[in-house]
Amino acid sequence: MTEQLLDSYVERAKNYLAMQRQQNLFFENDGIFGDPAWELLLGIFIATESDQCVMKSELLVDLSTTPAIASRWIDIFSDNDYIVECEQQGKVGIRMTDSARAECAAYLDAVLLL
């Protein structure tokens, strides 16, 4: 993929997350409309497309769920080959697999056409 196309996917993913988080400003119980799995997966996608190995603790900063739920989803992503471990500055983190990156990109393309 070209760098311009990658930037477009990252921007779309960031916009999607921002739109989802805006719901919290209008509804008292922000957990009702949350989708922690998708939010987490997009966070990993953004980090991977930005050529980063992301630490699990970094993903939890803006996540609208508990660390326990996020950890369970990370395990599920790993079991389904959506993510793999990577190393950055001597620490073990995670990044998205190439096939999962392609699936996210295809989804973001489809959403853009709506």
When pLDDT is cut at 50, 70 and 90, the band that residue 65 belongs to is confident
What is the torsional sign of CA 61, 63, 109, 105? positive
* Average pLDDT over every residue of 83-89: 91
Q: What are phi and psi of 32, to 5 degrees?
A: -65, -45
Residue 4 parent element (H or E): helix 3-26
Q: Which of 37, 41, 46 is nearest to 8 (CA)?
A: 46
Q: pLDDT exceeding 70 applies to what percent of the chain?
A: 81
Domains annotated for the chain, with CATH where assigned, are 3-112 (1.10.10.10)
pLDDT tens digits for 12-25? 888 877 777 676 67
